[in-house]
Structures are given as structure tokens and as C-alpha cells.
Chains A and B, each alone.
Chain A
């Protein structure tokens, strides 16, 4: 039968192939409600989201999205909220609505990129991340063109506008620099690991969990982690890595039976391991091991 049959059976489907063919979606643009002065909804919604109360956050943010004169932040936050629920169809819709209002907003693009990574759509995520970078660069250039800066230290440059940050993202600028890494001698049977700045973030609220897991990782060669407590609650553990992170770090995590969702970024300097509820089993094992 061979090739001729292959061609005959496969060819009719070839024309079904195309690019950029997306499911149809009708768009209904509703009239926006008049803005309400001093509407607390947006800030309340963001605060609820930060505290992990996603359902309440969504309700509040939806009100905000209708009341705010420019609802891009509310829409962006709604995107983040729905990502947390795994409703990527909805989060995408909200990010796109936000981008329609502000197509050059790098923070929205950032969150969309993270959302795509969470879905495993890595190629698309990378494209959006590149767009985010070029938009940021263009914004800085535009700023410099508009007002040639007097001699000033780089640190005096205006920070990007505050945005609703994605759950999985801790912008470098907001985090204190890592303390000098203590000189830890790895156990004799552990191969010295390549240097990797590491922070372990407790996103579960389980006391001592980040410390115990960081110790277990240190015992396998990646020591000196900075420990951070986070008020946000994660279901799934997320690992944010620089592009150049050593592959052995994954082996260490695997040896601990820790399988985080991995997000790689060129522009991050440190690995950030955000421990979610799925890491509790590991922590329980570590606690039991310590007792025995």
C-alpha cells in the first residue's frame, strides 16, 4: 500500500490546514456605565485577589470594569483572576479587552504571556514576551526622547506604572536583592552545583515549609536560598527560572518529587520557587523524616 495510499488518504485533509483560524466569537460591546467618583471597587478587587479570595475579587473587579473610566487595570486583574481558576478562555478574553484599551501596555502583555505559559503554549508565550520587551524598550526610548534627562543615576528612572501583577510573577524591581550567599559546603556525596541564585516562596501559609524545602534543596547542592512568605495562595508550585539555569536543578527537584510548572525568562536573574499546595506532601515527608 505504501506511499500512494498514504498520499491518497492524507491529501484531502491537507486543505483543512490553515493558520490563524480561531473559533468564531461574536463580540457584543456593551455601553459602559458612567464613571463613579472614588469607586473603591478596583483597589478592593485587587486586594481580594492578592489575598486569594478569587471569587469575591472577580465580582468586585467586574463592577470596577464597568465603572472605571478606563477599566484596563480591572480587566487585566480579571485576566489574572481567571488564570488562577484555570479558566484560560475567560482570562484571554479579559487580557484582550485590556489590550484593546492599551495595546502598548507591557504589564498586560506580561500577564498574557504568563497565562500562555501556564497553558503550555510556549511558542505563543515567547512571542508575547518578546512583544512585552520591545514595548517596554519603546516606552523607555519614547520617555527619553520626550524629555532628555539631566545627569541622573539610573535608579532615578521612573518606574513602570503600578500594575496588577500576575500571580506567578515577582518583578525583580520589587524584591530586595539577595543577601550574600552563605558559604555552604555540600555534603561529600553531593556534587557541587552550579551557582544559582534561589529564592523559595511559601505560597501556602504552612509554617516553616519554605525553610524545610529550601534545606532539602540545599542538601542537594543548591544552598543559600532566600526565604519569602507570600500572602497569596497557590494551588500549584511554580518555578520561574532564568534562561541559563543549570539543568541539574531540575534533577534536584525531581529527586524531591517536586514537579512545578516552569516559566523561563531571559530577564530574570534568580530562580524563584513558589511553593503551592501540591508541595505540602513533600513538606509532610520532610517533617516526618526530621522526627524520625
Chain B
């Protein structure tokens, strides 16, 4: 059972799902003049706040950009767009040149963590040592501490990230998730609610809220939800009841989830199998 990875909780926290759209996004129409007065700091800022298209256009237009800053920016964009190996490949040589570059350390550490590499923690710790304001590094250190079940370290790391980024929906969600790992679902719920109120489209936090609610013994209220959303809520709640050790409630909710979903729902079926295993 422990090898099973329930997809219900394959939460790409902070990774916004692509919205269902009527038509694809057309390619940019913009071409920046080659002599555009673009500074590397502006590019770094655009990446930092998640405006990746803006950043990429600016990098492409800035022929005169310092090669080091250019590669660091492209590495950070690779990371943000999920190309972790490419990011690491681009960032590693930079760290050989400037081993104390907090931003490069942070980006490399995050890429390494996403790839499950053992050097991730060292890179992130170095980043926060050089610059204690690297909130993304603190956030990732919190996640890594959770993996080690080092709750004191994760609490400290998420606390620092939140102090630097008050109200960040991503960090709030991660802290809540950490509390759920510790079986402290009741404390996680208000954090998840805050996360959702700060970012209504935060799907990870919405899913976690149903799981945490169920871990706390609350049945989900799916009245009025669209069918697919209700099915997802029931699945998450069923999973939460499984974590709570209430196999009967989990079984009932997961069966409701399967019935509510107009299509096949392999995720809920997998979770239902977990319920069966837990009963053995």
C-alpha cells in the first residue's frame, strides 16, 4: 500500500492548472526593438513575480545583456516552466563562477528538489544563508523538511517564508499540508481557507480543504457544485476519511464520487482500492 501514490494528492502546489479555454493563446505579436533599454534587474523581477512571457520576450530582445544574467534568467524561466533538468544544466555552470549567488542557488536548489536530488537541500540552505530573504528557498526547504518528517524544521522554514511573503497562498497551502501530514487537520483548515480567499483559483488548496475537512470528520457539502467538481470533492473527502481511519465513510464517499462523475473516475477507483487494502 505504501508504494501506491494516490493521485488525489499529487498536488502540484502553486502550479496553476491550465484553464479550460475556448481557443489556444495566439503567439505574441510583440517584437522588441533590439536597442530596447532593458535591464537585467527588470527581467529578474518579471521572473520573480511569475510574468514569464514578459521575461522571455525581454531576454530575447536584449542582445547586450550580460551573458551570466541572461543564462540565470533563462535557467529561472526553465524552472518556472517545469523544465527542471534544463534549468539545472543552465544554472550549475553559473554557480561555478559565482558560488554565492543566492538567486542562482535558490533556482538550482528548487530544480534539484523537483528532481528528487540529494543536493537540493544544500543548495537551498546556501541560498538562504547568503540571502535570508529568498522566500521560495525557505518554502522549498519546508517541503524537504516535511519529507524528512522534521516538523520543527518545516514549521520554521514555512514561518520564515510567510514572514517574507505574508498571505502567500502557495506558502499557506504548503504549511497547511505540513499540518495535515502531522495529523493536525483542524489547524490546517483556516490556513487553507485563507489560501483560497487569496487565490480563488488555487485548486490545490481547494482539494486539500476537502481532504483536511474529512480528516477532521466533516462531511463535504457538495450541494450546488457542478457534477465534475462535486465528484472531485467527494473523492478528496473520501481520501480524507481514509486517512482518518474511517473506512466505511471513505468507502461511501468514494462510491458517491464514482457515481457523480459522468465519466470513468480511475482516481476514485484507485482510492477505493486503498480503502479495501486498509481494511485487510
Contacts and interface: CB of A to CB of B under 8 A. Distances in A.
Interface of A: 1-3, 5-25, 27-32, 62, 65-66, 71, 75, 87-90, 93, 96-101, 103-104, 119-124, 127-128, 131
Interface in B106-152: 110, 113-114, 116, 136, 139-140, 143, 146-147, 149
B199 A9 contact: no
A21 B49 contact: no
A119 B201 contact: yes
A23 B11 contact: no
Which 9 pairs of residues, A with B, have the shortest CB-CB distance? A120-B200, A1-B245, A17-B13, A123-B198, A3-B183, A100-B57, A21-B15, A13-B9, A28-B27
B200 A25 contact: no
A21 B146 CA distance: 20
A15 B25 CA distance: 30
Interface of B: 2, 5-6, 9-19, 21-22, 25-32, 36, 38, 42, 45-46, 49-58, 60-61, 79-83, 110, 113-114, 116, 136, 139-140, 143, 146-147, 149, 167-170, 173-174, 177, 180-183, 197-201, 204, 215, 239, 242-245, 274, 278
Contacts of A8: 2
A136 to B, nearest CB: 16
B169 A123 contact: yes
B49 A18 contact: no
B31 A30 contact: yes
5 contacts: A17-B143, A22-B16, A23-B81, A75-B29, A97-B53
Contact of A90 (B6, B25, B30, B146): B25
Given A8-B2, A127-B49, A16 B12 contact: yes
B25 to A, nearest CB: 5
A130 to B, nearest CB: 11
A99 B6 contact: no
A98 to B, nearest CB: 8
Contact of B147 (A14, A75, A100, A103): A14
A62 B15 contact: no
B149 A99 contact: no
Nearest to A78: B29
B136 A13 contact: no
Given A27-B60, A103-B58, A127-B49, 7 more contacts: A10-B243, A14-B147, A14-B177, A16-B11, A18-B14, A97-B57, A122-B199
Contacts of A14: 143, 146-147, 177, 181
A7 B79 contact: no
A64 B27 CA distance: 16
Contacts of A28: 27-28
Given A10-B9, A25-B25, A17 B245 contact: no
A27 B32 CA distance: 13
A21 B82 contact: yes
Contacts of B182: 3, 6-7
B181 A11 contact: yes
A18 B199 contact: no
B183 A22 contact: no
B177 A97 contact: no
Contact of B31 (A11, A31, A87): A31
Given A21-B15, A121-B201, A16 B10 contact: yes
Contacts of B169: 123
A6 B239 CA distance: 10
A124 B16 CA distance: 13
Given A10-B180, A13-B9, A13-B10, A66 B29 contact: yes
Contacts of A10: 9, 177, 180-181, 243
B80 A22 contact: yes
Nearest to B47: A20
A99 B200 CA distance: 25
Given A20-B136, A32-B31, A100 B143 contact: no
Given A19-B14, A23-B16, A27-B53, A103 B46 contact: yes
A23 B30 CA distance: 20
A157 B199 CA distance: 37
A179 B55 CA distance: 46
A21 B58 contact: no
A9 B243 contact: yes
A30 B13 contact: no
A29 B12 contact: no
A18 B45 CA distance: 19
Contact of B180 (A6, A16, A24, A87): A6
Contacts of B61: 100
Nearest to B48: A20
Given A6-B183, A7-B181, A29 B50 contact: no
Nearest to A17: B13
A96 B53 contact: yes
Contacts of B60: 27, 29
B114 A119 contact: no
Nearest to A123: B198
A22 B53 CA distance: 11
